[in-house]
Amino acid sequence: MADRSQQDSRNGDAGQWIICQACPARETAGTIAFHRSCQYHRVDASGVRPGNGAPLPVKYSESYARARDAVGAIDMLTSIQSHPVMSVWASGALFAALHSVLAAAPVKARLRTLGVSPRAYRLLYVALAVATTALWLGFVRGLPDTLLYRLEGVPRLALHAVQVVGAMLFWLALRPIDVAAFLGLRAFRDGIEPFREDGIYRRLRHPMYTAAMLVMFAHPEQGVNSLNLFACIALYFVLGSRLEERRMLAQHPEYAGYRRRVPAFLPRMPRPGPRRPSNGQKDPR
């Protein structure tokens, strides 16, 4: 294969181009293309080309070092993709980091200086959230998975019933809020996002998250990837709700009392009152 690799002496520089007829590819000091299927595009740490043992010109050493780092990064990504569970959590961390950065106060302030209104920002954020969520779910769906269980019969019907409860809870969570303003289709009445204390929000601070977790974890078919995906989403809900509540406390100081009274995800069980005898007198016990 040695006769298929040659150096071009155009422009008076014998080392300017290295042409591999087998790939073919051209490499310059500024643009390096590695083809690991070709022995002439594998360079070790000393800058020696394994194909013929000849050292590369000095001007190639720095650019090849950068290229080796790039190949190392590609190898790391390939290794992550070969482990689906790692891929789920790594992509979930990237998803969460992106959303957290975009929701940060400095980013909002910077966008306001650029003339982006709060309504336009919210609309853009919702659109980006939908797009990145679809990409993330599509990526995880394309990973090789192992089925953990598939329930049939009565257990399957019972889990579907739990999912119906989750769907109803989500509907109850939407009823008290201004959905158009929530999606950014119009501005909030006072310019800031309100918090609700009526309806289901008397029982839960984050009923939408609870509803989503019910639907996810009650699915009658679970694989290794789907279970890890749902766990990653649940963790994102828990951590994200804390960031949301910091924002609500900054905008609504009275939210502190609401947070003390109302649980976040699971409703409190009602406490039994004192027993009363039939004559209406309190039970002395």
Average pLDDT over residues 2-6: 39
pLDDT at 196 over 80: yes
Domain ranges of the chain: 2-78, 84-261
Cβ-proximal residues to 175 (8 Å cutoff; 6+ apart), any chain? 199, 200
pLDDT band at 183 (very low <50, low <70, confident <90, very high): confident
Mean pLDDT, rounded, of the chain: 77
Phi-psi region of 272 (alpha: psi -120 to 50; beta: other; left: phi over 0): beta
Among 213, 171, 170, 178, CA closest to 195: 178
Percent above pLDDT 90 for the chain: 46
Residues 68-81: tens digit of each pLDDT:
555 555 555 555 55
**Helix or strand run (H / E) with residue 92:** helix 84-103
Q: What is the pTM of this model?
A: 0.67
The region of weakest confidence among 15-19, 90-94, 128-132, 150-154 is 15-19
Cβ-proximal residues to 260 (8 Å cutoff; 6+ apart), any chain? none
Residues 83-114: tens digit of each pLDDT:
899 999 999 999 999 998 988 888 888 988 99
pLDDT band at 257 (very low <50, low <70, confident <90, very high): very high
pLDDT at 185 over 50: yes
pLDDT at 22 over 60: no
Average pLDDT over residues 110-123: 89
